[in-house]
């Protein structure tokens, strides 16, 4: 059951998928349509899952699920992963690789491999104040407070001296 992402409770589970590049306007329209259809039909053992999504910076797909009504089952989580894998194929983009880092350079969102991010940290090209995206947040409250944060306040801090 598709609902407005902003109406989901703060305890709702989130999954964040970062794209290896920005989506075009046409791709965003198509992806929005596909997300609407997927979420409208997303179920766990035949029960509707109250969920919503948002797309940020033309690059991040954030799925939210109100688990106080129905928990996601293994099968429903698998279905969402298969959906994301299909988007990867349809748009020739990486959405599932967790070994990459996105961070802000002014208003631009940059995307690097973890290895390259480490090198940049050593070279002082990124700092403790660089805004990074902590895609490890698990619920909407954490997403709102701790997703877009200075590197010093995220797991990225371990690479900065």
pLDDT tens sequence across 80-127: 999 999 999 999 999 998 889 999 988 899 999 999 999 999 999 999
Contacts of 16 (CB under 8 A, 6+ apart): 60, 61, 62, 133, 135, 137, 143, 147
Specify the pLDDT at position 8: 97
Strand partners, 101: 112
Query: Model confidence over 22-63: pLDDT tens digits?
Result: 999 999 999 999 999 999 999 888 888 899 999 999 999 999
Whole-number Å distance between alpha carbons of 69 and 60: 25
pTM above 0.85, yes or no: yes
The domain spans of the chain are 5-91, 100-159
71: pLDDT strictly greater than 90: no
- The pLDDT-based confidence of 72 (bands split at 50, 70, 90) is confident
Tokens of 68: 């106080």
């Amino acid at each position: 059951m598709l609902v407005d992402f902003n109406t989901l409770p703060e305890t709702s589970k989130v999954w964040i998928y970062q794209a290896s590049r920005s989506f075009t306007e046409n791709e965003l329209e198509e992806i929005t349509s596909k997300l609407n259809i997927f979420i409208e039909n997303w179920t766990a053992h035949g029960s509707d899952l109250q969920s919503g999504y948002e797309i940020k910076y033309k690059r991040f797909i954030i799925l939210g699920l109100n688990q106080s009504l129905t928990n996601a089952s293994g099968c429903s989580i698998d279905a969402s992963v298969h959906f994301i894998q299909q988007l990867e194929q349809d748009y020739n983009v990486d959405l599932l690789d967790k070994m990459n880092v996105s961070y802000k350079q002014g208003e631009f969102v940059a995307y690097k491999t973890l290895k390259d991010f480490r090198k940049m940290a050593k070279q002082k090209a990124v700092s403790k104040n660089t805004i990074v995206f902590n895609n490890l947040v698990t619920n909407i409250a954490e997403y709102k407070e701790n997703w877009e944060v200075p590197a010093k306040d995220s797991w990225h801090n371990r690479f900065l001296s």
